[in-house]
């Protein structure tokens, strides 16, 4: 049973997928019973060296030529970005073709509309590789755990930032130096903004939250903070207090709705996410019946990601041959995204203060005036100035923000050197 496949984009992931389809076709057929026939591939530059070989007449620079080819029943979008990828996916679905994509930016921004279109058209739109690269997480959330009223999903979903934070923590090296090294080693893009600024993780947080809680969360609406202003000194202060700093995607059910956000977070040393090092990714899920689940592994890279894409291609091809939707799409309720102001968090502050009697009392008073209670305080240094490390109890973000603004204005506070959220129980 043959299914015609068209791939749009044959770079890191698309190139690895094309190679698998061409070199491992017999093994795939033996295991799945499917013949996946690579009909056409679109790239920007047809003269570039690739890890696979195709006759020139099967390569094009026009993505729509792949979509419109009558032999292509299943379109794999691996070019990335919102456009023209969005137009390609939409046209393929409207033509009744199944679509597989790894494009988290597109799914997070237009997932609700595109999944509805796929459902209307009775074809699959699958995106396992959009979060966690080679880690199976979309199917577990949308199928295996569909009956569990999940309470929280926490993810280390960006390998670049986890690589940088791990190196800074373990080698005591500053951010700029580690970023340059990550770029040299291929762990960071020449323009790292989407990774280090938290945008990539925010798209993935939106997808995880939508699937976990069945309410559509738009990627662009997820509040995000990145790692680009982190001072290495705070990583060692955090270690001294028993924490490791991770860029976390957080999605949790709260009284105010589903709270979703991305920010650097102090994770207790003994939490399973604390041990996820380097470019690895992990998603930690909590629910009343399943307790705790940890999915971890390679969150990026051509071959691991292409494995996840191939799994989707096999599922979508089975659906095409069955002539019916085998995996019904998740139904999403209107957005229940909680207002960040009402989200309850714990915070860590590093304050540079003058060292004189009564400083601590005036700082404690500011916190108290906003109903933020202090869990612990450490002081380092004496003489001209001192460093205070403060960890608070839980309070709404709005209360924290008001307290922080007043701290910044206090004459005894020279600088709010750092602020991180602290992972609570």
Ligand X SMILES: NC(=O)c1ccc[n+]([C@@H]2O[C@H](COP(=O)([O-])OP(=O)(O)OC[C@H]3O[C@@H](n4cnc5c(N)ncnc54)[C@H](OP(=O)(O)O)[C@@H]3O)[C@@H](O)[C@H]2O)c1
Query: Residue numbers of the site for ligand X (CB under 6 A)?
Result: 9-14, 42-45, 48, 61, 63, 78-80, 84, 102-104, 129, 133, 300-301, 305
| Helix-, strand-, coil-residue percentages of the chain, each rounded to 5 | 40, 25, 30
CB of 98 to ligand X, least distance (A): 18
Would you name the residues annotated as active-site residues? Answer: 204
Closest chain position to ligand X (CB): 11
CB of 373 to ligand X, least distance (A): 42
Smallest CA-to-CA distance from 45 within 65, 59, 55, 58 is with 59
Please give the Cα distance from 152 to 146 (Å, whole number): 14
Smallest CA-to-CA distance from 380 within 371, 389, 390 is with 389
Judged by beta carbon, residue 86 or residue 396, the one nearer ligand X is 86
Q: In what order do the strands lie in the sheet with 59-60?
A: 59-60, 35-42, 2-8, 74-77, 98-101, 125-126
User: DSSP for 45-87?
Assistant: -TTS--SS---GGGEES-HHHHHH-TT--EEEE-S-SSTTHHH
CB of 402 to ligand X, least distance (A): 38
CB of 194 to ligand X, least distance (A): 9
Count the Cβ atoms, other than its own, within 10 Å of residue 9: 27
Task: Name the phi and psi angles at 107, rounded to 5.
Answer: -65, -40
Please give the Cα distance from 93 to 271 (Å, whole number): 42
CB of 103 to ligand X, least distance (A): 4
CB of 52 to ligand X, least distance (A): 12
4: which 2 tokens? 């015609």
Please give the Cα distance from 419 to 343 (Å, whole number): 16
Judged by beta carbon, residue 104 or residue 346, the one nearer ligand X is 104
Smallest CA-to-CA distance from 125 within 133, 134, 116 is with 116
Count the Cβ atoms, other than its own, within 10 Å of residue 176: 9
């Amino acid at each position: 049973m043959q299914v015609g496949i068209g791939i749009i984009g044959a770079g890191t992931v698309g190139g690895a997928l094309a190679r698998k389809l061409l070199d491992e076709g017999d093994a795939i057929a033996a295991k799945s019973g499917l013949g996946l026939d690579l009909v056409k591939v679109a790239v920007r530059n047809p003269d570039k060296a690739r890890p696979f070989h195709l006759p020139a007449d099967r390569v094009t620079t026009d993505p729509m030529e792949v979509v419109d080819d009558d032999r292509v029943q299943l379109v794999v979008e691996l070019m990335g970005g919102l456009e023209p990828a969005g137009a390609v996916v939409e046209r393929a679905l409207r033509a009744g073709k199944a679509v597989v994509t790894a494009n988290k930016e597109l799914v997070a921004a237009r997932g609700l509309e595109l999944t509805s279109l796929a459902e209307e058209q009775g074809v699959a739109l699958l995106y396992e590789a959009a979060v966690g690269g080679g880690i199976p997480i979309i199917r577990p959330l949308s199928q295996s755990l569909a009956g569990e009223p999940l309470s929280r999903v926490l993810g280390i979903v960006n390998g670049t930032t986890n690589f940088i934070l791990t190196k800074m923590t373990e080698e005591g090296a500053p951010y700029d130096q580690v970023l340059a090294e990550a770029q040299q080693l291929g762990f960071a893009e020449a323009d790292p903004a989407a990774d280090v600024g938290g945008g990539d993780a925010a798209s993935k947080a939106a997808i995880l939250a939508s699937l976990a809680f069945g309410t559509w969360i738009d990627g662009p609406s997820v509040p995000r903070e990145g790692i680009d202003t982190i001072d290495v000194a705070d990583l060692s202060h955090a270690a001294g207090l028993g924490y490791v700093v991770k860029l976390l995607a957080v999605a949790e059910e709260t009284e105010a709705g589903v709270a979703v956000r991305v920010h650097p977070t102090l994770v207790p040393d003994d939490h399973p996410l604390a041990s996820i090092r380097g470019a690895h990714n992990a998603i930690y899920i909590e629910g009343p019946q399943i307790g705790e689940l940890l999915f971890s592994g390679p969150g990026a890279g051509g071959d691991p990601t292409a494995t996840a894409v191939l799994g989707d291609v096999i599922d979508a091809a089975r659906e095409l041959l069955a002539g019916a939707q085998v995996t019904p799409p998740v139904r999403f309720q209107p957005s229940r995204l909680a207002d960040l102001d009402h989200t309850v968090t714990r915070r860590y502050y590093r304050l540079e203060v003058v060292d004189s009697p009564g400083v601590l009392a005036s700082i404690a008073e500011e916190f108290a005036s906003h109903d933020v209670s202090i869990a612990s305080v450490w002081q380092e240094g004496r003489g001209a100035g001192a460093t205070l490390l403060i960890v608070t109890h839980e309070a709404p973000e709005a209360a924290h923000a008001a307290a922080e603004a007043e701290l910044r204005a206090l004459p005894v506070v020279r600088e709010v050197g750092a602020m991180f959220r602290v992972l609570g129980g």
